[in-house]
Structure 1
């Protein structure tokens, strides 16, 4: 197992509370981002959580993976839906690596001249 996910999510939630006591204005603003994203109800909670899981993969955030996996389960996402969202993240991240490889070669060529 890569991580003890229940313990990780619990630790994150406890730590989140501690951080909010230290900087409540910042945490309030952070929480407002999620509320704003859900405001128009164009995407349901399950879709937002599937997107969040895919983004968490591309940003390599274990805490995001744990908390959004838990939220996806609560929103009714199936394992198959999660796997499909992750397949999309894999295909995009490979594409991003290809694009940035072209950037790296361009930088090399430009700097070598």
Structure 2
């Protein structure tokens, strides 16, 4: 996916949202701004950004990885914290594969031995 990622050029396509669904774009932007507002949240911004980074790695969204890794550092995250967030994402993704493997056995009619 990252082979067609262009940080600057891709943002230009936001004009489609602005033209076709400006109300939804505005609602999303307001929601996102509220979630990531620097103050007055229970979870400090650095940790919200690290959570967002881990989710981004899990969903493999290169745009979100780009934004939230930088935002986490701006909010005070260290390289070690970025690394641990990446490992958390890796563990959750691997755990999902493990759990869904069990579901495959169930759906295939494989019985416990």
Distance in structure 2 (CA, Å) of the matches to 1:38 and 1:52? 10
Instruction: Report the equivalent of 1:91.
Output: 91
Higher helix share: 1
Gaps of 5+ in 2: none
- Structure 2 length as normaliser, TM-score? 0.77
Q: Does the CA contact (< 8 Å) of 1:46 and 1:76 recur in 2?
A: yes
Distance in structure 2 (CA, Å) of the matches to 1:77 and 1:8? 25
Deviates more, 1:82-91 or 1:72-81: 72-81
Size of the aligned set, in residue pairs, is 107
1:71 and 2:71 correspond: yes
SS at match of 2:6: helix
Instruction: Report the equivalent of 2:61.
Output: 61
What are the equivalent positions in structure 2 for 1:1-113 lying under 5 Å apart? 3=2, 8-38=6-36, 40-109=40-109
Q: Deviations over 1:17-45 (max 9, x none)?
A: 54223311111122233234346511122
Residues 85 and 59 of structure 1: CA distance in aligned 2, closer, same or farther (over 3 Å) = same
Deviates more, 1:49-58 or 1:21-30: 21-30
Residue 67 of structure 1 and its aligned partner are, at CA, apart by 1.6
Gaps of 5+ in 1: none
